[in-house]
Every structure is written in C-alpha cells, then in structure tokens.
Amino acid sequence: MLQHSIHHIEIGVRENGEEFVLELCKKLGLYRAGYRETVHSRQWLVRANDWVQLLVTEIRSSPPEQEQQNCAHSDQQRDEAIANDPYLVLWDQDVDEGGRPVRNSVFNVCLTVKDIQRQVERLERCGAKMEKPVTVLSDADGEVKVAMVRSCLGNVVHTLVERQHYSGFFLPGFTSIRRQDVKTDDGYDEIRPPTPPRNRITHVDHVTFAVEVDTSQDIIAWYENAFGMKRFYVNSAEDDGEGFVINLPNMALRLKAFEYWKCAETGVSSNTTLHHHSNGDVGVNDDDDDGCNKLLFVIAESLKDSEPNQVDTFLKDHKGPGIQHVALHTGNIVDTVSRLKQQGLQFVDPPHTYYKEINGMLKDLNMKESVSRLEDLGILVDVEYGNDKTHGDKKAKYLLQKFTKPIFEVNTFFFEIIQRMGATGFGANNIIALWRSLQALLQTEQQQQQHDV
C-alpha cells in the first residue's frame, strides 16, 4: 500500500452535508467512496483518486429524543461522544443551540506518519495541544493508529494516521460505497469511466493558509519544531525574513512557504514520488530516491497598515486564520478546467487586460499550450526564469493556474487548479500581473467614460 504525506483533507459543513457532497462531486468530478454515521455526525469520503481524498464532516443537531431531556445533559453527552470519537472534532469554538459549529470551514490536513508514537512524543515536547491521544482502530483489514493535534494557526488541526498495517480502502469505521451503488436524483452519473491520467486531478499540490499580521514567523517555527518542516523560497526575489512581499495599493501581503521532505528526521511519510514529465504526464513511483512527495504549505499574510485585501477578507469572513485554499494538480489544465466548467464549477476570471500584461513574458517561452486557448478559459500563467532572469531564457519554466470561486456562501475557502511545467513557485508573479491588469482595465474604463461624457 502506497503512503502519502497528505492522507486526506477534511471539510466541516454545518448542515445539508449530503447536498454539499453531491455538489462537490458533480462540479469537481469526484466520487463518493465511503461513509460513516454516528448519532452525532455524518462523514462522507469523496475522492478524485487515491491521492486526493476529501472528508466532509457534518456535526448533527442533538437527536430529538435528547432535545427533550435536560439541555445541559444533552450537551455533555454530545461533547463526550465527540471527545471519545477519534475522527471527530468541533472545528469552531462557536456552536449553535444544536451543538453544531456556526460556520463551514476546511480545517484538517490529515497526515500519514510512519511512527505515530514518535511523532506524538515530538509534538508533546513542543508543547503542542493533542486533541485526541493515540488510538488503535481495527477491522477485518488490519489496524490503524490515529491521533489529532491542534496547530498554532486558527482552527487548523492535523489528524495523524499510521496505517502501514492496514489494507482497507480508507479507515476503520467507514463503509465503502461501491460506485455502481451511487445514484443521484438529478441523474448525475458518478460511474463514469476513469478519465485518462493526463486529464485528471492527480494530487494535492499545496495548501495555503491565510494568517494575521506578523504571525507567519511563529507559525513556521511551530511547523519546524512540530513536524521538521523547512522554509523554502517561493520566488528568487524573496527575502529571508520578509518573505515574498507584494506591496501595491489594495494589495499588500507577503508569501512564505515551507515543506516537508523525506530526508527530514521526523516521521511524516513520503515514500511515494510523483514524477512530472516534460509532456505534462504525471507518473507515480513508490521506489524513487531523488525527490519526495512533498508536503507544501504556503502562508499568505497581510502587511501591517495595508488596505484590506483577499487575506483580510478571509480573516473577516472566516472569523480568524485558517486554510484559504487547496491546490489540486492536473497533468492537463486546459482539459481539466474545460471539463470542470462544463460540470458547473465556477471560476474567477482575470480581466482581459491580463493577457496583454503577460504577453511579453510568453512570446519566447515555447509553451506547448495555445495562448488563445488559455485566454478563452481564463487560465493564468506564471513564469520562473533561470539565473540570469532574461526574458526568453531557455531555462524559463512556468506554471498554469486557475482559482475557483469560494465554495461556501461566504468569501473564504476556494480551490486552485494548477499544472506545473517545471516551475516550483505558487504564482506569486500572477498576483502582481493581475493587479496591473486590473489597473489597466480601470484606466481604460475611466478613459471610456470621459470619452462618452
């Protein structure tokens, strides 16, 4: 059984979990693979493949028979049940009268570990708060050890999973949903044949946190101590202390990134490597030694005294720091975005001036994608140059990306679809290019208005 750094990512929805899951499956081309139900919760496992697993959790209101009992007693029972359930945690301090968190949130990046006991001892030495102790769970497919730690960052937790002695499809306690059993009222067919590898979402590329001013340094220190992760530069223009700083009107923020790789001492598992071939294909090899199945986290932090930007919007609507987006990698973003659009997934489109803004960078890049096709689909391009940073440098590498609209009713979490063509950054240049193109668009509109007057 292959192992991966990110085992799954958990999404907490306060109500209508089933409808949410169906929408997610339909629009992102995922399928329901497993289900678990308790008195207090329902959980659905949705998958793109073995490397992209999302767990949707809904904490239920108190059951009717409990509502008739003493309220405090019901609350206590619920809290105890959740405390004793290795898979459940309230993702929000604020709960409504039914005991459900008051907002939706993506809050748990679950990590596969090689030695959970050793990892937990390390966390305890760091003073990290364990939400769940190490618990052994088993069924006919073997044994899994799980634990849960609260991070230093907003409502983010990490479930740890040691599962080398388990051959089941997900985790004990979950019932597999066979794809042929799935039927939906509106006729959406989850039983489609697997899409060719180049067209599908392959793996989680990175997870980005939105954090409060002046907190990124402490957050990175926590992840270094807790998991042995290391900082790395998102861009050659990055400063060690400051990160990659973007300081424009209405857009003042810094980006910092950190990663785990398998040579680190701690036990986060990463013995599978995804190989990115020059033709865009992605292959998996669990026996590779040259690199790692990296666990990449990015921090987006507002600058002090800046005007409100996308990070501040997240902090306000999410009521605190947390996971802002998850980037899903595809081997062919043109096909993937085209398909997801047809399936009804809504994306943020750049202003048409964006492609004029980046045109100079693209003309010598020798891209295999048609720029007009990228423009049609609103796919962003970010270019990374070799050492001399010369435009047209043959060493130039690039990535393609596109962001969805927020998936909840408020402006918080969204997905990114990304395809890497050698570039290792996160599209930092695109933030500037988008800002410039928006400025150009506003200028054109103002000139037009003056002309009309």
Q: How far is Cα 284 from Cα 91, in angstroms, rounded to an integer?
A: 33
> Closer CB to Fe ion, residue 22 or residue 207?
207
Cα distance between residue 187 and residue 24, in whole Å? 15
Query: Between residues 144 and 257, which has the closer beta carbon with respect to Fe ion?
Result: 257
Binding letters toward Fe ion, positions 55-74, x by CB under 5 A? --------------------
| Piece in contact with Fe ion (CB under 5 A), picked from 90-98, 275-283, 326-334, 366-374 | 326-334
CA angle 273, 257, 413 (to 5 degrees): 90
Give the closest residue to 56 by CA, choosing from 30, 81, 78.
30
333 binds Fe ion (CB under 5 A): no
Binding segment for Fe ion (CB under 5 A), chosen from 101-109, 190-198, 313-321, 411-419, is 411-419
| Whole-angstrom distance, CA of residue 279 vs CA of residue 423 | 14
The minimum distance between CB 187 and Fe ion, in angstroms, equals 34
CB of 426 to Fe ion, least distance (A): 5
Binding-site size, Fe ion (CB under 5 A): 4
Binding characters for Fe ion, 194-213, by CB under 5 A (x = yes) = --------------x-----
Choice between 44 and 426, CB closer to Fe ion: 426
Q: Does 327 bind Fe ion (CB under 5 A)?
A: yes
Q: What is the DSSP track for 165-187?
A: TB-SSS-TTPEE--GGG---TT-
Q: In the complex, what is the shortest distance from the CB of residue 61 to Fe ion, in angstroms, rounded to a whole number?
A: 35
Measured from the CB atom, is 252 or 327 closer to Fe ion? 327
Distance of CA 411 to the CA centre of its chain: 15
**Cα–Cα distance measured from residue 100 to residue 108, given in angstroms and rounded to the nearest whole number:** 17
Asked if 416 is part of the footprint of Fe ion (rule: CB under 5 A), the reply reads yes
Burial class (CB in 10 A: 0-12, 13-18, 19+), 233: middle
Task: For the CB of residue 427, give the shortest distance to Fe ion in the complex, in Å.
Answer: 6
Which one of 117-125, 177-185, 284-292, 323-331 is the stretch in contact with Fe ion (CB under 5 A)?
Answer: 323-331
The span from the CA of 58 to the CA of 17, in Å, is 6
Is there binding between residue 259 and Fe ion (CB under 5 A)? no
CA atoms within 13 A on the CB side of 136: 6
DSSP 141: T
Q: What are the residues binding Fe ion (CB under 5 A)?
A: 208, 327, 416, 426
